[in-house]
Amino acid sequence: MTAPTVEIPAAWLVDGAVQPARCVRHGAPATRRVDLVVRNRTGHAVRVPGWPLCRRCTLVRIAGLAGAGLLLGGGLAAVVAGRPAGALLAGVAALVAAGPALALGRLPWLTRVRLSADGAAVRVLDPHPDFEARLRPVPPRG
């Protein structure tokens, strides 16, 4: 069974005609908005301003990026020091562990968005029901 997908025309997100109000993962209200670039494998890219992150997603992002930084720094220091052999092994293990920590903080993983092959639509993979229910158009200005 495949996860549900919501497709939003990329132009609507780029020009601000639609602005998601809820987090994709948890359906919680946005506490932070991030600008992200959504790419596909064919080379298209779309800049989406103001994508919502809830408090939990924001904390996961901060923890992932900070943890990766600490693991990289500590791992490099241990590898450079290299003595005793246990420190070298711990350094290498920390460098390897930095990859998954960094993945936790990456926006493509948190936001669950992909760009269609033709670049015309942003696909949201397995959104929380409240995300789709609260996907609202922004009233025109003027």
Q: What is the pTM of this model?
A: 0.80
Q: Which of 141, 60, 53 is nearest to 103 (CA)?
A: 60
**116 compared with 2, residue with greater pLDDT:** 116
**Confidence at residue 78, expressed as pLDDT on a 0 to 100 scale:** 87
Confidence grade of residue 139 (pLDDT, cut at 50, 70, 90): low
pLDDT at 142 over 70: no
Q: What is the pLDDT of residue 72?
A: 93
Helix axis angle, 85-105 to 55-81, nearest 10°: 160
For residues 6-23, average pLDDT:
88
Contacts 24+ apart (CB under 8 A), 88-94: none
- Per-residue pLDDT tens digits for 72-124: 999 998 888 877 878 888 889 999 999 999 998 999 889 999 999 999 999 99
CA 5 to chain centre: 17
Using a pLDDT cut of 90, give the percent of the chain over it. 61
Which residue is listed with tokens 């990329």?
Answer: 10
**pLDDT above 80 for 136:** no
Burial class of residue 7, CB neighbours in 10 A (0-12, 13-18, 19+): exposed
Helix ranges (DSSP H) in the chain: 10-14, 55-81, 85-105, 107-111, 129-133
Name the residue with tokens 């995300």: 131
| Domain locations in the chain as residue ranges | 5-135
What is the reported pLDDT for 62? 95
High-pLDDT (> 70) share of the chain, %: 94
